Amino acid sequence: MYTRNPELLADKVLEKMRAHPGQTTDPLKLAKVFKVTREHIIGAVGLLRCWGYTIRADRHGHYAFVSAPDNFLSTEISYRLNTRLIGKKIYAYQTVQSTNAIASQLASAGVPEGTLVIAEHQTRGRGRLGREWYSPNKVGLYCSIILYPKIHPTQAPGISLLTAAALADTIASYDDIDVKIKWPNDILISGLKVAGILTELSAEIDRVEYVVVGVGVNVNQKRADFPDHLKDTATSIRIGAKENILRVEFLQKFLRNFEKEYAAFKKSGLQETRKKILKYSYLQDKEIKLKIGRKVISGIVIDIDRTGQLVIDTRDGIMAFNAGEVSTH
């Protein structure tokens, strides 16, 4: 079984060595366990090193696990993830055009709910309103989660909001970070954008077929890494936390938070999440302009209601909106 599947053998060898960190293992013993030859084990260790794992060999040729790379390998993401649904199945890539595009195809093909699509780099990362999401190699987080919620299409914006709450909680777990949710899809640190959410769905008039939640996070960019057009508006968690962030650990925390928020949403809509959204809300009590197509509405934000709509006190009275682009000046 393992001789035909070197990746699977490498995963299993890693699992065995990781169970006893620092302790050496004789490759012959591993060969017996997996019913392969010693050469297969040496090959598996070579593959693991290729993936970025540090595995030490002593003078007898016995191996010990030393450390794992901070790369989005499915083995690393799954390791002690402990979720029930989200990220149980993972498609991890080096470079793709857009994880949302791949996720939509996988969702149409019926992969399990909670499937995660992730890449180290995107060449055509999609942002909202036809914009591009800047996705440089190995410094950010670019992923999409596939869901099949039994909801009416009008409830879909709630999924963006629960994602925002999960992201805000994850970012807030790093010291000294002033994280805010800018309704409906942006996450800010000190007023600058650190993450964005692009929720795409396939639906009939009264039924959602699938939802793809795309999440882009600037994780380890330094100020100088941002291109000129983003320098004044973007930031990263690393800049906010003043330290390098372990991206796999960040992703795992986010997936666990997302799972909790999604479970609560399925049970009782945004009831629970709304409290968090209000706690993190960047727009509360601010004077804003909301652009919906060609229409612009001005007023003061007074609430985000139970259905996730932005409630604005306008010149024409109090109104609630479920979409649009907000500016604060």
Binding span for ligand BTN by CB under 6 A among 47-55, 68-76, 142-150, 310-318: 142-150
Nearer to ligand BTN, 88 or 128 (CB): 128
228: number of Cβ within 10 Å: 6
* Beta strands 90-96; 116-122: pairing state: parallel
Nearest approach, Cβ of residue 190 and ligand BTN (Å): 17
Nearer to ligand BTN, 12 or 128 (CB): 128
Binding span for ligand BTN by CB under 6 A among 16-24, 25-33, 34-42, 214-222: 214-222
- Does 216 help bind ligand BTN (rule: CB under 6 A)? yes
Buried b (16+ CB within 10 A) or exposed e, 287-303: ebebeeeeeebebebeb
Position among 65, 72, 142, 254 found at the interface with ligand BTN (CB under 6 A): 142
- Does 198 help bind ligand BTN (rule: CB under 6 A)? yes
Nearer to ligand BTN, 126 or 247 (CB): 126
Nearer to ligand BTN, 23 or 137 (CB): 137
Contact positions with ligand BTN (CB under 6 A) in 78-137: 98-100, 122, 125-128, 131, 133
Nearer to ligand BTN, 98 or 281 (CB): 98
Nearest approach, Cβ of residue 199 and ligand BTN (Å): 9
**Per-residue x/- marks for ligand BTN, 239-258, CB under 6 A?**
--------------------
Nearest approach, Cβ of residue 217 and ligand BTN (Å): 8
3-state SS string over the chain? CCCCCHHHHHHHHHHHHHCCCCCCECHHHHHHHHCCCHHHHHHHHHHHHHCCCEEEECCCCCEEEEECCCCCCHHHHHCCCCCCCCCCCEEEEEEECCHHHHHHHHHHCCCCCCCEEEEEEECCCECHHHCECCCCCCCEEEEEEEECCCCCHHHCHHHHHHHHHHHHHHHHCCCCCCEEEECCCEEEECCEEEEEEEEEEEEECCEEEEEEEEEEEECCCCHHHCCHHHCCCECCHHHHHCCCCCHHHHHHHHHHHHHHHHHHHHHHCCHHHHHHHHHHECCCCCEEEEEECCEEEEEEEEEECCCCCEEEEECCEEEEECCCEEECC
Nearest approach, Cβ of residue 200 and ligand BTN (Å): 9
Nearest approach, Cβ of residue 218 and ligand BTN (Å): 10
Nearest approach, Cβ of residue 107 and ligand BTN (Å): 13
Q: Give the interface size with ligand BTN as a residue count (CB under 6 A).
A: 21
- Does 55 help bind ligand BTN (rule: CB under 6 A)? no
- Does 30 help bind ligand BTN (rule: CB under 6 A)? no
Nearest to 210 by CA among 202, 220, 218, 199: 202
- How many residues are recorded in the chain? 329
Binding span for ligand BTN by CB under 6 A among 78-86, 169-177, 193-201, 318-326: 193-201
Nearest approach, Cβ of residue 2 and ligand BTN (Å): 34
| Site residues (vs ligand BTN, CB under 6 A) | 98-100, 122, 125-128, 131, 133, 142-144, 185-186, 196-198, 214-216
